């Protein structure tokens, strides 16, 4: 009798287990089915605003769509919590991970507050994209506001172009400052955004918005890990920085005296990509630097051909080609009849078919690399499109940013540019150093900026900085980590951080710092798969199905595994490691150190790092001023 009772209890337990699994399967099937349409509708509404800022009816529609998707996510999270509780009864690892992600809402607001938050972001985007400044007159050496308003300068392309190509110290200071005067218009919106976003994050179970953003990396020690990585790459940055400062002092004699560099003369509105000052800073100025812009124009490249060129590279690796909807729905050029958000972005409409890029493409080498970067996002979207909806994301946000840049590391090599007929030159030591230098102006120069933007925002979200200290906090970090200072005294009530699109659009940024290290790890792994045995910086894995297969196996995972496991899938190791970056730039770092030592330059910009960091940095150290 006892035996029969035990059998009966076992059968009941088994039936209960089968029922629970059935309930999980039914719930996840419903979530995936309904979610695809919900996310698609929200994406369509957001896209419509981004490609037509002049239609006054669209922001309200987009805000309501955001409220709808937020309400749906909260409803599904509540259902998952009610039905499955703490998930201890779920044995299937994949299903448990899906349910965990569904229950993590993040920013949890009611419909009215979600609409307010969405409207704030749209308002800041409008200010950012629609305001213009008076053009600079070379004759009067002052802004000329008498020209018709339609000829005033937009941010993109006119303001950004002047910062990139002007060598007039005063014009650069004017454009830099005028753009930040526009940024200040967003300060009140941003303050409200911080309050509303924090409210939602706390209601979602997080300390603040920064806490929620960091949770997306699934790393308890993210802050410490990022700080350690910055300390690791700082010696490389200091070598480049010291060399560039010497060149800028020669270019603008008597215009600045501090050991820190004025932010407006580095060829980029945010001083984070220095490649546009490569013309007067190249190590070997009489040796041609790799820049295929002129050849692209000569050969009749158009924005469409640039996208087709990128697609051909991905296909050469055996990866998925862009589908018909991509070519039909993407915005590749800036429309002439309406205002748009020109900041390049890739979009996944979450229905497994509709993928788009929005970009005001110009025919030049820099934009060709951006096209590859954005198409890397699309490739990732397509590779994990068959995953459950909860897993249709990168292994972490930094992975997504690294994919296209990994491809671009191969695309930008002289070997590849010769292969596709855009470069005709032979290789020499001097050419290699010039090439690596140009790459460092893009990649190494970016590192401190990529790190500090979210350091600042995390401190805003947790209350360390408030509206009265936004700007002082911003410049404390910019000077500490980047070694730059503003070209003029900044007002206490300024909002210079808002000059960066990602700040006013609510886009987390530490992902870019992560990606600028991870991409070299991915690149090295793909080069090994392609049996490339030359120096790492010369590797071109074009046409290597083996390299493509290695990448594809990782991309297909989406967010189904924690990122260290995805990292291991492609690199064989589970940690973020700057070793591949140092290997890539080793010849340049040696050259820079030799040049800086010969010149007798000091290192740094007057900031004293902790002893554990200082022991890895070069001496002598700079004080607050330089003798000129």
Q: What is the pLDDT of residues 29-75, one digit of tens each?
A: 999 999 999 999 999 999 999 999 999 999 999 999 999 999 999 99
* pLDDT one-digit tens code per residue, 195-208: 999 999 999 999 99
Q: Residues 414-423: contacts with CB within 8 Å, 24+ apart?
A: 414/290, 415/538, 415/540, 416/540, 416/542, 417/290, 417/292, 419/540, 419/542, 420/309, 421/299, 422/292, 422/295, 422/296, 422/299, 423/290, 423/292, 423/295
* pLDDT one-digit tens code per residue, 326-378: 999 999 999 999 999 999 999 999 999 999 999 999 999 999 999 999 999 99
Q: pLDDT value at position 22?
A: 60
pLDDT band of 537, cuts 50, 70, 90: very high
The set of residues, in sequence order, having a beta carbon less than 8 Å from that of 314 and lying 6+ positions away, is: 320, 321, 322, 375, 379, 407
Residue 116 labelled as part of a binding site: no
ω into 157 cis (within 30 of 0): yes
Question: Does residue 21 have an active-site annotation?
Answer: no
pLDDT band of 4, cuts 50, 70, 90: very low
**DSSP state letter for 468:** T
CB 192 within 8 A of CB 120: yes
The structure tokens listed for 356 are 């788009």
Q: pLDDT value at position 15?
A: 39
Lowest mean pLDDT among 282-296, 314-328, 546-560: 282-296
CB 194 within 8 A of CB 506: no
CB 209 within 8 A of CB 459: no
Q: Could you give the CA distance from residue 31 to residue 388 in angstroms, rounded to a whole number? A: 9
The set of residues, in sequence order, having a beta carbon less than 8 Å from that of 441 and lying 6+ positions away, is: 240, 273, 274, 275, 277, 278, 281
Domain ranges in the chain are: 2-105
Q: pLDDT value at position 257?
A: 86
3-state secondary structure 568-613: HHHHCCCCCCCHHHHHHHHHHHHHHHHHHHHHCCCECCCCCCCHHH
DSSP codes of every residue in 422-466? S------HHHHHHHHHHHHHHHTTTHHHHHHHHHHHHHHHTTSS-
Question: Does residue 374 have an active-site annotation?
Answer: yes
If DSSP codes are grouped into helix, strand and coil, which group holds residue 484? strand
Alpha-carbon Rg for the chain, nearest whole angstrom, is 26
Q: Could you give the CA distance from residue 504 to residue 560 in angstroms, rounded to a whole number? A: 30
Please say if the pLDDT value at position 9 is more than 60: no
CB 547 within 8 A of CB 527: yes
Strands (DSSP E) found in 480-529: 484-485
| Residue in 60, 218, 430, 502 annotated catalytic | 502
| Residue in 232, 238, 374, 379 annotated catalytic | 374
Which of 454, 455, 516, 518 lies closest to 237, judged by CA?
516
More confident residue, 426 or 164: 164
Residue 401 labelled as part of a binding site: yes
Residue 511 labelled as part of a binding site: yes
* pLDDT one-digit tens code per residue, 75-105: 999 999 999 988 888 999 999 999 999 999 9
């Amino acid at each position: 009798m006892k035996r029969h009772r035990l059998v009966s209890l076992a059968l009941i337990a088994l039936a209960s287990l089968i029922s629970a699994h059935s309930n999980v399967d039914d719930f996840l099937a419903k979530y995936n089915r309904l979610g695809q349409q919900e996310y698609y509708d929200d994406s369509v509404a957001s896209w419509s605003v981004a490609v037509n800022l002049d239609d006054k009816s669209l922001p309200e529609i987009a805000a309501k769509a955001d409220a709808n998707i937020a309400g749906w996510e909260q409803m599904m999270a509540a259902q998952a919590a009610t039905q499955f509780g703490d998930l201890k009864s779920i044995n299937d690892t994949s299903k448990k991970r899906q349910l965990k992600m569904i229950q993590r809402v993040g920013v949890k607001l009611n419909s009215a507050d979600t609409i307010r938050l969405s409207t704030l972001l749209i308002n800041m985007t409008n200010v950012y994209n629609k305001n213009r400044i008076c053009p600079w007159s070379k004759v009067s050496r002052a802004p000329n506001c008498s020209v018709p308003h339609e000829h005033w300068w937009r941010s993109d392309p006119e303001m950004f172009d002047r910062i990139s190509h002007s060598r007039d110290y005063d014009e650069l200071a004017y454009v830099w400052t005028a753009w930040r005067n526009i940024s200040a218009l967003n300060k009140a919106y941003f303050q409200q955004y911080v309050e509303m976003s924090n409210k939602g994050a706390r209601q979602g179970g997080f300390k603040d918005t920064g806490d929620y953003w960091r949770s997306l990396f699934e790393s308890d020690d993210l802050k410490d890990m990022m700080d350690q990585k910055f300390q690791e790459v700082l010696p490389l940055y200091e070598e480049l920085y010291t060399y560039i400062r010497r060149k800028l002092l020669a270019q603008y004699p008597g215009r600045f005296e501090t050991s820190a560099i004025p932010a407006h003369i580095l060829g980029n509105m945010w001083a984070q990509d220095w490649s546009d000052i490569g013309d007067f800073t190249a190590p070997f100025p009489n040796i041609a630097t790799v820049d295929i812009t002129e050849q692209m124009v000569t050969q009749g490249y158009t924005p469409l051909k640039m996208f087709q060129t990128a697609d051909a590279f991905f296909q050469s690796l055996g990866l998925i080609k862009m589908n018909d909807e991509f070519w039909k729905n993407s915005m590749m050029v800036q429309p002439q009849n309406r205002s748009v958000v020109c900041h390049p972005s890739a979009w996944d409409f979450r229905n497994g078919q509709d993928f788009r890029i929005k970009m005001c493409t110009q025919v030049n080498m820099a934009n060709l690399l951006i096209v590859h970067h954005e198409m890397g996002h699309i490739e990732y979207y397509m590779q994990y499109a068959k995953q459950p909806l909860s897993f249709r994301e990168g292994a972490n946000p930094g992975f997504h940013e690294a994919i296209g840049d990994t491809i671009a590391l191969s695309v930008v090599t002289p070997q590849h540019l010769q292969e596709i007929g855009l470069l005709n030159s032979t290789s020499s030591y001097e050419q290699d150093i010039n090439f690596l230098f140009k790459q460092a102006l893009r990649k190494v120069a970016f590192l401190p900026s990529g790190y500090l933007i979210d350091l600042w925002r995390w401190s805003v979200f947790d209350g360390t900085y408030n509206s009265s200290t936004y700007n002082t906090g911003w410049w404390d970090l910019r000077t500490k980590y980047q070694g730059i200072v503003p070209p003029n005294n900044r007002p206490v009530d300024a909002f210079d951080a808002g000059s960066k699109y990602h700040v006013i659009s609510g886009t987390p940024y530490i992902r870019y710092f992560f990606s600028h290290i991870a991409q070299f790890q991915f690149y090295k792994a793909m080069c090994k798969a392609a049996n490339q045995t030359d120096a790492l910086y010369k590797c071109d894995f074009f046409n290597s199905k083996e390299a493509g297969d290695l990448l594809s196996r990782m991309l297909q995972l989406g967010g189904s595994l924690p990122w260290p496991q995805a990292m291991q899938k492609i690199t064989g190791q589970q940690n973020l490691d700057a070793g591949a970056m140092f290997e890539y730039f080793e010849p340049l770092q040696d050259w820079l150190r030799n040049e800086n030592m010969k010149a007798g330059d000091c290192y740094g910009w007057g900031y004293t790092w902790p002893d554990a960091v200082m022991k890895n940095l070069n001496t002598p150290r700079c004080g607050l001023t330089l003798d000129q």
